[in-house]
Chain A
Amino acid sequence: MTAIAEAVGVTKWYGEVLGLNGFTAFVEPGITGLVGPNGAGKSTLFKLLIGQLRASGGELRLLGEDPWNNVGLKRRIGYCPESNQLYGWLTAQRFVELLLKLDGIGAAEAQKAAEESLAFVGLTAAKDRPLRTYSRGMRQRAKLAQALAHGPELLILDEPLSGADPMARVQILRAISEFANRGGHVIMSTHVLYEVERITSNIVLIHNGKAIASGNLHAIRALIDEHPHAVRLVTSQPRELAQALAAWDHVVSVEFVDAGTLLVRTRKPDAFYRDLPGVVVDRNLDVRGVESPDDSLDAVFRYLVG
């Protein structure tokens, strides 16, 4: 099968600012993680892929087609933007239904497909609540539901785990994996390597608008393991959470940033992300948000690019 996305020397200028700088990469079928620190060019690439932006130079193909103003191509893709802003007055059910109708799907079918898609991401119980009442994790899942609902071939997910709580992360990653297991393709961006590594080893590393590496990431893992990985946790029980995490031998430090935020540094991010939901559930802790400042990844990129 040919590449899902092909970029050859793609450049994007924002006035005098260079967003992408001769980006070249071939995205294979399956799940691919686009990994890079904030400002690396991930969102610019995604907006080019879905036709929101037009490349200043180079050649870009998505599913074999030029994405700029390509209405037909949009039937084949599901897009999840980075922003968590939604139509707050709509319920999740109505939100997904409306967007499905824009795909030309009839009312009855749209209602059924919206229900199924919201169930797929674990939002059935909250589907009739206005989106403005949703937490960040729930918004991420609602965005994922609208991207999945019309049965696309390819999902393009811009930071789909950003700000999600541990349980929402598990559900989102599970939904993405299931979609891929059914034959779908996924390109997802993140600045947290360990998130995407749980569902794929197919990675494109992007830095300063360029693809600096792609393919299997095991070699780079070793480099990253040398840099303690920082995780910021939002919680109403910082003391209890800190006690639990400090007991793990791979946790290097636990810092109280403010009354409701912990900054944890770990030498084994994969183990940290794997075990965090368990400790939250077992000890009945309240963790509302998990974010990774990209300083540790940035350090690795600086190392890689000299």
Chain B
Amino acid sequence: MDAGAALRKGWVVTALTVRYLVSTRRGIVTLALSWLPLLLTGALALARVASFDILLFQQLMLPLFLQVVLVFVTLVSATALIREEIEDNTLPFLLARPVSKPELAVSKYAGYLIAGLAFLLPPVVVAYGVTEAYAGLGLGADVDVLEGFLAATALGVLAYGALFYFLSVVLRKPLMVGLLIGFVWESVVVALPGDVPKLSLTYYLRSVLGGMISVGPYSGNPGYVSAPVAVLVLGVFSVVMLLLSALTFQQMEFLQKA
């Protein structure tokens, strides 16, 4: 089969996955949660908080958006990709078609990426716009901050999604383990001394922010790796997790409920 035909088949699964993720009640809740930064910056602007500027924006966005909203949205979305279709008994329709399981797994992840980025990137831009407008600045005034948070969000969607996807393939109930990793492990490990924080994904996301933003809480921090190294680590991690997911999925057996 030629690559074009394979891509077209993959796109069918990808589009179906996007629709699946955005049309369920779970999707609507995660979409609403994704807009929390706008709610926050809007509230600060409406309350006319004097210290509300691009520095406060950064101080709020990391703990609230990158460590809570991003983790939650990617966890809920990525763990639904396979498990939800198993629970809903719709997976047999895809498995009965001449598409290999690894192709299915990768196409579903691509659908997750599209939905995840569509959920999480616009709120960052809008919240940034509100912050700059409140300060009476143009949108290009602190563009490095915008670029840094967009890059960190996109990489977070990529890496956390791959991790949680893998969990959903190997575990029957991936949410609990995902919650522990996403909220306990990631928060605790990054605060420990030495090289231990390098065992968390949030460490590399902070490195990306530190490397891309000229003035902010993480810029110039010697404890972090450079942004290119962080991007490389997150990219390799994501590819490895995705490959492991696809290989595990290839060997999975499926019992459907009657």
Q: Assess the B254–A53 pair: CB atoms within 8 A.
A: yes
Known A47-B254, A85-B90; judge A72-B16 contact (CB<8 A): no
Q: Assess the B256–A103 pair: CB atoms within 8 A.
A: no
Interface string of B85-97 (1 = CB under 8 A from A): 0001110111111
A306 touches B (CB below 8 Å): no
Which residues of A are found within 8 Å of B26, using beta-carbon distances? none
Give Cα A259–Cα B99 distance, bound, in whole angstroms.
Answer: 47
Q: Assess the A99–B93 pair: CB atoms within 8 A.
A: yes
Give Cα A69–Cα B97 distance, bound, in whole angstroms.
Answer: 11
Known A102-B98, A103-B98; judge A43-B5 contact (CB<8 A): no
Interface residues of A in 78-93 (CB under 8 A from B): 78-79, 81-83, 85-87, 89
Interface segment, one of B7-15, B190-198, B221-229: B7-15
Which residues of B are found within 8 Å of A102, using beta-carbon distances? 9, 12-13, 94, 97-99
B176 touches A (CB below 8 Å): no
Shortest Cβ distance from A279 into chain B, in angstroms? Answer: 30
Task: Specify the chain A residue showing the minimal Cβ separation from B253.
Answer: A53
A35 touches B (CB below 8 Å): no
Which residues of A are found within 8 Å of B50, using beta-carbon distances? none
Q: Assess the A74–B97 pair: CB atoms within 8 A.
A: yes
The number of chain A residues with a CB under 8 A from chain B is 31
Q: Assess the B99–A71 pair: CB atoms within 8 A.
A: yes
Q: Assess the A47–B16 pair: CB atoms within 8 A.
A: no
Task: Specify the chain A residue showing the minimal Cβ separation from B100.
Answer: A71
Chain B contact patch, size range: 20 to 34
Q: Please classify the interface of chain A as helix (H, G, I), strand (E, B), loop, or mixed, using the class held by over half of its residues.
A: loop
Q: Assess the B98–A71 pair: CB atoms within 8 A.
A: yes
Task: Specify the chain B residue showing the minimal Cβ separation from A162.
Answer: B258
Question: Of the candidates A54, A71, A86, which one forms a contact with B253 in the assembled complex, judged by CB atoms under 8 Å apart?
Answer: A54
Task: Specify the chain A residue showing the minimal Cβ separation from B87.
Answer: A85
B46 touches A (CB below 8 Å): no
Task: Specify the chain A residue showing the minimal Cβ separation from B94.
Answer: A102
Task: Specify the chain B residue showing the minimal Cβ separation from A156.
Answer: B96
Give Cα A38–Cα B93 distance, bound, in whole angstroms.
Answer: 22
Interface residues of B in 78-131 (CB under 8 A from A): 88-90, 92-101
Interface string of A200-226 (1 = CB under 8 A from B): 000000000000000000000000000
Q: Assess the B98–A75 pair: CB atoms within 8 A.
A: yes
Give Cα A50–Cα B1 distance, bound, in whole angstroms.
Answer: 21
Task: Specify the chain B residue showing the minimal Cβ separation from A77.
Answer: B96
Task: Specify the chain B residue showing the minimal Cβ separation from A73.
Answer: B98
Which residues of A are found within 8 Å of B8, using beta-carbon distances? 101, 104
Q: Assess the B98–A72 pair: CB atoms within 8 A.
A: yes
Q: Assess the B258–A82 pair: CB atoms within 8 A.
A: yes
Question: Of the candidates B12, B92, B253, B256, which one forms a contact with A98 in the assembled complex, judged by CB atoms under 8 Å apart?
Answer: B12
A14 touches B (CB below 8 Å): yes
Which residues of B are found within 8 Å of A82, using beta-carbon distances? 256, 258
Which residues of B are found within 8 Å of A87, using beta-carbon distances? 16, 20, 90, 93
B23 touches A (CB below 8 Å): yes
> What are the 6 A-B residue pairs with the smallest beta carbon separation, nearest first?
A83-B89, A102-B97, A85-B89, A79-B96, A74-B98, A81-B92
Given pairs A50-B92, A53-B255, A74-B98, 13 additional interface contacts (CB within 8 A): A51-B95, A53-B253, A69-B100, A72-B98, A74-B97, A79-B92, A79-B96, A83-B256, A86-B90, A89-B19, A103-B97, A104-B5, A146-B93
Could you show 6 A-B contacts with beta carbons less than 8 Å apart?
A52-B95, A53-B253, A83-B257, A101-B12, A104-B8, A104-B98
